[in-house]
Chains A and B, each alone.
Chain A
Amino acid sequence: MHNFESLGDPALMALIALGDKTSFALLSRRHMKTMVCVAQRILGNAAEADEVVQESFLRLWINAAKWDPDGPGTVKTWLGRVVTNLCLDRCRARRTIPLDDAGDIIDPAQDVRDRLGDEDRQRVVRQLLDKLPDNQRIAVVLSYFEDQSGKEIAETMGVSVGAVESLLVRARRTLREAVRTYGFVWGEDL
């Protein structure tokens, strides 16, 4: 009996290409949480995030034989790319959000750190992320939440490193302005 746990992603992909379900279960368990978190941060919706992740892993199962281990990027970045692309498709499809799903607007009168509970804080961050264009939001999610480098983000998003830097600079500017507009106080830097 082989110890599949010790196998790296490329070896698991080779076994998945042969139709090995154990390897697929292991690989999907290995990356499931990261992909769910990425999708949920981009989409802001748990059910949609689950659908996107499921679709992404199904694509991995179907296209495992086409994956080139010598090509650029890792299995994780390939998977991340599929997830972010599917998220982008969903974002484009739902340009108009029903008012009921938009959530309450946070009263910007008080100090955010003192006043907000965990749920409210999540809602504030959600609103801030929603203010960003889709590409900038994805770059912010991968950089600030996943701690990915510029190169990794570039591989995941299929753009150049320079383009990623540009997206992050614009996103930071938008976020700072949004934070000021809300009147949030966070530390002494504001």
Chain B
Amino acid sequence: MNDHTLRSFLQSGDPAENVEDRRLEALQASLMQQIALTEQEPSSSRPVFLPRRFLVLSRGFAFGVLLCGAGVLAGRLVALPLMAQKVVQVEEPAPTVLALASPWGEWIGE
């Protein structure tokens, strides 16, 4: 049996030979109904995605804040025992001094 014969043999008994137009029309109508249904879905149920750049920036910012907090805490932990043993004398400056030492000191002083 050559290829041409096999082809004509298979095509003579095509399992999809009798696909009716009526069936296709029904399928089309059902499909259009489903499309309409997908459009009627409430927008609140759809997930809202933030831009990727925004997510990366906000994560970076949060990481930076955490790092600063951790640095202050570590500094305190190291300084406290040294202060207790009088190895170092740290005098807490008065708030006004702190304010004057800041870049806005001159402006505040006025």
Residue ranges of A at the interface with B (Cβ–Cβ < 8 Å) = 19, 21, 24-25, 28-29, 32-33, 36-38, 40-41, 44, 46, 49-50, 53-54, 57-58, 61-62, 116, 118, 121-126, 128-129, 140, 144-145, 172, 175-176, 179, 186-187, 189-190
Cα distance A135–B3 in the bound complex, in angstroms? 19
* Contact A25–B32 (Cβ < 8 Å): yes
Given known A-B contacts A41-B14, A61-B38, A125-B14, A32 and B27 have beta carbons under 8 A apart:
yes
* Contact A122–B13 (Cβ < 8 Å): yes
A140 touches which of B10, B17, B28 (Cβ 8 Å)? B10
Question: Main SS of the interface on chain A?
Answer: helix
Contact with A along B62-99 (1 / 0, CB 8 A): 00000000000000000000000000000000000000
Cα distance A132–B2 in the bound complex, in angstroms? 18
Question: Main SS of the interface on chain B?
Answer: helix
* Contact A129–B15 (Cβ < 8 Å): yes
10 A–B contacts, CB within 8 A, in A order? A19-B39, A28-B28, A33-B19, A36-B24, A36-B27, A37-B19, A58-B31, A121-B12, A129-B15, A179-B1
Please tell me the number of chain B residues within 8 Å of chain A, measured between CB atoms.
27
Distance in Å: Cβ of B59 to nearest Cβ of chain A:
27
Given known A-B contacts A129-B15, A187-B5, A190-B1, A145 and B10 have beta carbons under 8 A apart:
yes
Neighbouring A residues of B12 by C-beta, 8 Å: 121, 125
Cα distance A33–B21 in the bound complex, in angstroms? 9
Distance in Å: Cβ of A168 to nearest Cβ of chain B:
9
The verdict on B102 contacting chain A, using a C-beta distance below 8 Å, is no
Neighbouring A residues of B10 by C-beta, 8 Å: 125, 128-129, 140, 144-145, 175
